């Protein structure tokens, strides 16, 4: 039973659709959504509707900081991001806003843990940017595999039995064995706004039986997503960075 993980969709309909098709083609049977369904992108209604539909079919979903900002003005976002959140509020109906507000910060599916950012303080939205944050996150739970997103750059951390931490920049589309006897923290890249220099949408595929994780990349119609951002009058650089994957 393959599990697909989608993080940081950010209202990018084109990317999300392409990833869903790609994941099904690769045999994904379960879906876990790691937060930030809205923000930056031009299609929040469609993406939230799709998320609600998937959750109705059994998918798991956690809350992201942009989702939280929809009903909570105290989230710390930069000015342009805040502007898009304001625009998004005016697009979402009550059911959609209630759905986002009710999402949990973490989901514990032992031995796996799903969270948008670092697991030691999920409400503080700390970026897992280095071994230091990865160690804090792993130390805070007993999960053998934690899966998160938030930073938009794919990474894989592992902690040995002796507590030593290792970092790995995963190659795309190569299954990586998650050796037993270690604890792992998989940081998914972004579906809707990749920032590792590759504009292709990023998601994860986990094979729990084989204990292998694959960092998948999926090409999609980037131009259409960028044009939609400009057509909605949102900050144009959110579209430009889609084209560059930065």
Partner 1 sequence: MRSFEPGTLVDGFRIEGVMHHGGMATLFDVTQVSDNTRLVMKVPHLAEGDDPAEIVSFEMEAMIMPRLTGPYVPRFVAAGDFEGQPYIVMERIEGESLLQRLKDLPLPYDEVAAIGCRIGEALHDLHRQHVLHLDIKPSNVIMKPDGGAVLLDFGLSHHEKLPDLMQEEFRVPFGTGPYMSPEQLLGVRTDPRSDIFSLGVLLYFFSTGVRPFGESEMLANMRRRLWRDPKPPRLLRADYPPWLQEVVLRCLEINPAWRYPTTTQVCFDLANPGHVALTARSEKLKRDRWSTVLRRRFNPELPRPRMSAIAADLSLAPIVLVAVDISEGAADINETLRLTTAKILATVPSARLACLNILKQSRISIDQTLDDEGRNKHLDRLIALRQWASSLKLDPAQLTVHVIEASDPAPAILEFVRSNKVDQVIMGARQGTVMRKILGSVSAKVAAEAPCTVTVVRPPRFSSRDNGPAA
Contact call for residue 130 and partner 1 (CB under 8 A): no
Is residue 177 near partner 1 by the rule CB under 8 A?
yes
Q: Please choose, from the candidates 76, 85, 104, 82, the residue with its C-alpha nearest in 3D space to the C-alpha of residue 44.
A: 85
Per rule CB under 8 A, is residue 233 in the interface with partner 1?
no
Position among 95, 102, 179, 231 found at the interface with partner 1 (CB under 8 A): 179
The Cα 37–Cα 80 span in angstroms is 17
Does 231 interact with partner 1 (rule: CB under 8 A)? no
Residue 116 CB partners (closer than 8 Å, separation 6+): 7, 34, 35, 36, 62, 63, 64, 65, 105, 122, 125, 148, 149, 150
129 upstream amide cis, omega within 30 of 0: no
Is position 197 an interface residue for partner 1 (rule: CB under 8 A)? no
The residues in 149-168 that bind partner 1, with binding defined as CB under 8 A, are 156, 158, 160-162, 164-168
Residue 71 vs 175, nearer CB to partner 1: 175
Task: Identify which of residues 51 and 158 has a Cβ nearer to partner 1 in the complex.
Answer: 158
Q: How far apart are CA 157 and CA 151, in angstroms?
A: 14
| Eight-state DSSP code of residue 122 | G
Q: With respect to partner 1, which residue has the nearer C-beta, 90 or 181?
A: 181
Contact 8, 64 (CB under 8 A): yes
Count of residues that bind partner 1 according to CB under 8 A: 18
Q: Which residues contact partner 1 by CB under 8 A?
A: 156, 158, 160-162, 164-168, 171, 174, 176-177, 179-182
């Amino acid at each position: 039973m393959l599990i697909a993980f989608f993080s940081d969709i950010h209202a990018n309909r084109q990317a999300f659709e392409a990833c869903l098709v790609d994941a099904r083609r690769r045999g994904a049977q379960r879906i876990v959504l790691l937060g930030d369904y809205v923000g930056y992108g031009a299609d929040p209604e469609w993406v939230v509707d799709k998320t609600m539909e998937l959750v109705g079919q059994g998918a798991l979903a956690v809350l992201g900081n942009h989702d939280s900002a929809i009903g909570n003005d105290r989230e710390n976002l930069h000015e342009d991001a805040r502007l898009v959140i304001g625009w998004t509020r005016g697009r979402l109906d009550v059911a959609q806003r209630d759905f986002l507000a009710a999402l949990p910060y973490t989901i514990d599916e032992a031995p796996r843990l799903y969270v948008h950012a670092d697991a030691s303080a999920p409400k503080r939205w700390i970026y897992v940017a280095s071994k230091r944050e990865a160690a804090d996150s792993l130390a805070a739970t007993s999960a053998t595999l934690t899966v998160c997103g938030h930073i938009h750059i794919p990474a894989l951390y592992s902690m040995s039995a002796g507590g030593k931490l290792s970092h790995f920049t995963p190659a795309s589309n190569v299954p990586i064995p998650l050796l037993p006897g270690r604890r792992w923290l998989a940081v998914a890249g972004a579906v809707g706004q990749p920032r590792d220099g590759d504009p292709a949408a990023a998601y994860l595929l986990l094979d729990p039986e084989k204990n292998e994780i694959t960092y998948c990349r999926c090409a999609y119609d980037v131009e259409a997503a960028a044009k939609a951002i400009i057509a909605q009058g949102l900050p144009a650089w959110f579209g430009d960075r889609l084209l560059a994957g930065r």
